[in-house]
Amino acid sequence: MLSNMIRAFTVAAVMAAMPALAGPLTLTAADPVATVTIPEEWSGKTIARGLEIKTPDEEVYLWFELIAPGEMDSVQKEHDRYFKKEGVTVTGASETKKSEINGRAWSFTELTATNKDGPSIIRYVAINPNVASGKIILMTYWASPEGDKTHDAAMSKLVEGISFR
């Protein structure tokens, strides 16, 4: 019986790490607050705090993470370490813009950056899903300028299609 449980857990862990095909992905399984539907050609997988999504040409990477407001600084430091490891240098930031969309608070910050391949775009979007836990959705977007243009329509559709619970 124990070996069956271990086998089932192993299969579940492998499946969770595998890229998902197109379609709706839940953010997060442990605390489902939203569903994100990714384009057919894109890939997505579950990560510790949410979802990682990328375009087939790998010109756009996208993360949706569900975090407690008090974790924002530590998550930001984690992201900074990741981008540094990837050779990304932030060269400037826009002022954070706040908006209310469909009764939810959204804030938008765009960073200009460079890496070994040239300019990069990094965007942080914090979304308040209005859940009792007070957690927020942090969407992190990293793209080349070409990828940003190429995938703009699909990205807009993805963001507009976020379904909150």
More confident residue, 136 or 23: 136
Tokens of 129: 């899903």
Strand partners, 139: 64, 125
Residue type, 165: R
Q: What pLDDT, on a 0 to 100 scale, did the predictor assign at position 15?
A: 41
Would you say 88 and 115 are in contact if contact means Cβ atoms under 8 Å apart?
A: yes
Domain membership of residue 66 (yes or no) is: yes
Residue type, 71: E
Domain membership of residue 130 (yes or no) is: yes
Would you say 131 and 63 are in contact if contact means Cβ atoms under 8 Å apart?
A: no
Domain membership of residue 131 (yes or no) is: yes
Tokens of 157: 């559709």
Taking the mean position of all CA atoms in its chain, how far away is CA 118? 22
Taking the mean position of all CA atoms in its chain, how far away is CA 159? 11
> Could you tell me the CATH number of the domain that includes residue 29?
3.40.1000.10
pLDDT over threshold 70, residue 3: no
Mean pLDDT of 46-69: 96
Domain membership of residue 6 (yes or no) is: no
Q: What pLDDT, on a 0 to 100 scale, did the predictor assign at position 105?
A: 95
Residues 6+ apart with CB under 8 A from 33: 27, 66, 129, 131, 135, 137, 164, 165
Q: Sorting pLDDT into bands at 50, 70 and 90, what band is 22?
A: low
pLDDT over threshold 50, residue 84: yes
pTM of the model as a whole: 0.84
Q: Sorting pLDDT into bands at 50, 70 and 90, what band is 69?
A: confident
Domain count of the fold of the chain: 1
User: Can you give the residue range of the structural domain that contains 137?
Assistant: 20-164
Domain membership of residue 74 (yes or no) is: yes
Domain membership of residue 55 (yes or no) is: yes
Angle at 73 between CA 67 and CA 79, to 5 degrees: 80
Domain membership of residue 145 (yes or no) is: yes
Domain membership of residue 149 (yes or no) is: yes
pLDDT over threshold 80, residue 8: no
Q: What is the pLDDT of residues 31-50, one digit of tens each?
A: 999 999 999 999 999 999 99
